[in-house]
Amino acid sequence: MAILHSPQYSSDQTRIIKLPIGSKTFLEGPAGVGKTTIGVERMLHLMDTGVSGNTILVLVPQRTLGTPYIQAMNLPGVVAGGMVSVLTHSGLAQRMVDLFWPLVAGPAGFARPEEQPVFLTLETAQYYMAHLVRPLLGQGYFASLTMDRNRLYSQIIDNLNKAAVVGFPCQEIGDRLKTAWSGEPGQSKVYEEAQACAALFRGYCLQNNLLDFSLQIELFWQHLWKSELCQQFLIRSFRHLIVDNIEEDVPITHDLLADWIPQAESSLVIYDSQAGYRRFLGADPVSAYHIKELCDQNFSLTTSFVPSQEIQSLSVYLRGALARNPAPKPKIDPRPAIVHETHTYYPQMLDWIAAQISQLIDDEGIAPQNIAVLAPFLSDSLRFSIVNRLANRGIPVKTHRPSRSLREEPATFCLVTFAVLAHPAWGIIPTKFDVAHSLMQAIAGMDLIRAKLLTDIVFRIRAGIPTLSPFEQIIPTTQERISYVLGEKYERLRLWLAEYQQASPGELDHFISRLFGEILSQAGYGFHTDYDKGQVAANLVDSIRKFRRVVGNTLLETGVDMGKEYIQMLNDGVIAAQYMPAWKAQTEQAVFIAPAYTFLTNNYPVDVQFWLDIGNRSWSERLYQPLTHPYVLSRNWPGDKTWTDSEEVETGEQVLSSLVYGLLNRCRKRIYLGLSEYNEQGYEQRGPLLQAFHHILQGLAEG
């Protein structure tokens, strides 16, 4: 069965796709030269020539990068047979830990090897970190830092993860950070405290069979891969390896591949020669490149199929300007590839962007999915501002994450408020505002005025217990104002809550599921046929259930009510702050709004890119992270060297140049520059990217 998708492959591409089955190949080149296309077609070619799909492992640094492989496999033209596994290193590690847990739990130092492992998500890991670190904060830990507590917890977790993926003992985190530090001496104490917290967390995990990301990776690499049973199982199961975007993967993955490739029947390793955008997540293009030495065939592709000549010219100009390099300029004028307009205020710039996108779709026929709106960081308010403007014009939008965090959703607010009312023993008292808004969400047709009126009358706090009184006790004229129809619905809800209180309380997820199913999603209530609210409620139940299943036993031992604890953690922002559903209903035919790095690591080209806020220094500067350091905690940093300002500046320039190159390699036609004199916060900014554009345009204007 012929399976090549397109007859337009170059001879190089066809040659690589059709290499003999036993080949071990290294393929490199910049974005846009068709490397992933080759990977996908190679996978299909292997299957077409008799290799069973279930013996092929496609390894990618993040799940989204596996999408082209999965989509290709799902097409009817693909030969019948086993399914290819498309996994990340961590996905593979989790599956192996789960399968071989009885073999390694004891040797790895878990205190209760006979019990099941508990896999921690980011939010439950953060919960446990908060649980352990909070008392230390009271003792003066991190007293010199002014930062959000959740960021503090996440940076300690980040350090553990870096140690695992780079491959050094987690006991060395503090020393590595201290050695590289050249600023105020007080910072050394902060690093020592960060080290102590990491050690405390690791010890707690081992004591309680908890597996955070770092422990999963370490368990897999240090125990499972070294177990003959597990290693042979993997090598026999997956005899063919296709590794895409290896430069975005972490050193421990490269170590794994260095062991595995010589034992595999075939391999294709794909390397983007100008990337490595996930360095802040531990990506290491240097160690990735060493894999080339293990391959018997090397190919380098250079002809890009994506950017226009003007965009390619702009790329050369821009990188020259950023490097302050007077190298010869291309003959092609890049200006047709740049559209820009300066505005005084930020909202004006956003209006302009929305208008331009609308015009591109309506007048030029550019499909929404071929447009990306990019910024160095995307705050909730900025995302809302753009989404709202585009929605008003009927333009579909997808963002890199749900528009709002789970805890900020009105449906969550409503469900949690009723949970609090139904569990007075928790001692949490909702405000009248909370109750009125929840009634408005819960009962179809209930407007804010009537909800407030009803709440003012029925909601009381008696002896510290919040209560709702019956509708029938309201005087008839007010009943009429609220309406009997709404009153009846309120009464059914109130009686349901009262009946629940009479019985012994159940689990919080059970309560929410019942309230949703038996009342709020029934006809006449606010969640009935509201698919979005159903989705939010499902995510909430899912989050609570995972929380219960992970921390339930710990709380039981300490006598803390799980439901109360969940709600307190929710309010503190420890959990459900950025809850990602497993499947998010986002249309693919939509304008993509994302931070620039998210767009790069999703790795697909578009016709037009909008770059927002190019005066912002965040295009080149890294986040303020006082407890961690992505460059120091890497394999390439000499252990005895100090990180100085010149390294900071040099790294920033390299990062910006690489970012610009990556974005332009994923743009076919034009770049729109969103310029405003004052940024979102009202400050004037003139970062290096803005200066580089000024330099280019001025130079071209002067001829």
* Residue selected from 5, 21, 22, 82 as contacting another protein according to rule CB under 8 A: 82
Using the contact rule CB under 8 A, the part of the chain among 32-40, 181-189, 444-452, 532-540 near another protein is 532-540
CB 175 within 8 A of CB 227: no
Q: Is the dihedral of CA 392, 396, 401, 407 positive or negative?
A: positive
Structure-token pair, residue 538: 């499902």
| Beta carbons of 425 and 449 less than 8 angstroms apart | no
Q: How far is the CB of 57 from another protein (least distance, A)?
A: 14
List 134, 149, 335, 514, residue binding another protein (CB under 8 A): 514
User: At how many degrees (to 10) do helices 410-422 and 432-442 cross?
Assistant: 110
The verdict on 75 binding another protein (CB under 8 A) reads: yes
State which of positions 224-243 bind another protein (CB under 8 A): 229, 233
Q: Which two tokens stand for residue 444?
A: 């179809």
The size of the interface with another protein (CB under 8 A), counted in residues, is: 79
| Burial status of residue 205 (CB atoms within 10 A of its CB: 0-12, 13-18, 19 or more) | buried
The yes or no reply on residue 95 touching another protein (CB under 8 A) is: yes
516 near another protein (CB under 8 A):
yes
Determine the Cα–Cα distance for residues 527 and 520; give it in Å rounded to an integer: 5
Between 459 and 525, CB nearer to another protein: 525
Cα–Cα distance measured from residue 527 to residue 514, given in angstroms and rounded to the nearest whole number: 13
State in angstroms the smallest separation of the CB of 258 from another protein: 23
Closer of 221 and 459 to another protein (Cβ): 221
Is residue 513 near another protein by the rule CB under 8 A? yes
Interface with another protein, residue 583, by CB under 8 A: yes
Mark the segment that binds another protein (CB under 8 A) among 171-179, 421-429, 445-453, 524-532: 524-532
104 and 225 Cβ atoms separated by less than 8 Å: no
Give least dist CB 318 to another protein, A: 28
Q: Which of 462, 531, 645, 702 binds another protein (CB under 8 A)?
A: 531
Which CB sits closer to another protein, 94 or 417? 94
273-312 residues in contact with another protein (CB under 8 A) are 278, 281
Identify the residue among 208, 298, 479, 535 touching another protein (CB under 8 A).
Answer: 535
Binds another protein by CB under 8 A, chosen from 331, 523, 557, 558 = 523
Interaction with another protein in 584-643: which residues (CB under 8 A)?
585
Report how far apart, in Å, the C-alpha atoms of 559 and of each of 145, 286, 359, 555, 563 are: 33, 50, 61, 6, 12
205 versus 337: smaller Cβ distance to another protein: 205
Decide if residue 116 touches another protein (CB under 8 A).
yes
Q: Footprint of another protein on residues 119-158 (CB under 8 A)?
A: 119, 121-122, 154, 157-158
100 binds another protein (CB under 8 A): yes
Counting Cβ atoms within 10 Å, is residue 275 exposed (0-12), middle (13-18) or buried (19+)?
buried
The answer to whether the CB of 40 falls within 8 A of the CB of 313 is no
| SS3 category, 240 | strand
Query: If you count them, how many residues does the chain have?
Result: 703
The single-letter code of the amino acid at 339 is V
Q: Taking contact as CB under 8 A, which single stretch among the options 384-392, 438-446, 528-536, 554-562 is the one that binds another protein?
A: 528-536
Member of 29, 39, 53, 466 binding another protein (CB under 8 A): 53
d(C-alpha 597, C-alpha 606), whole Å: 15
370: tokens are 């071929």
Name the residue among 524, 501, 529 with its Cα closest to residue 514: 501
Nearer to another protein, 298 or 535 (CB): 535
Backbone angles phi, psi at 435, to 5 degrees: -65, -45
Instruction: Out of 7, 20, 50, 703, point to the residue binding another protein (CB under 8 A).
Output: 50
Among 559, 582, 682, 702, binds another protein (CB under 8 A): 582
The torsion angle over the Cα atoms of residues 348, 350, 352 and 358, rounded to 10 degrees, is: -150
CB of 37 or CB of 522, closer to another protein = 522
Subset of residues 357 to 386 that bind another protein, contact rule: CB under 8 A: none
Structure tokens given for 182: 């050249």
Cβ closest to another protein, residue 25 vs residue 539: 539
Taking CA atoms, 268 is separated from 46, 239, 366, 616, 652, in Å, by: 11, 12, 35, 39, 32
CB of 523 to another protein, least distance (A): 6
Compute the least distance from the CB of residue 3 to another protein, in Å: 12
Give the pair of three-digit tokens for residue 288: 């990735």
Contact region with another protein (CB under 8 A), list: 16-24, 136-144, 251-259, 577-585? 577-585
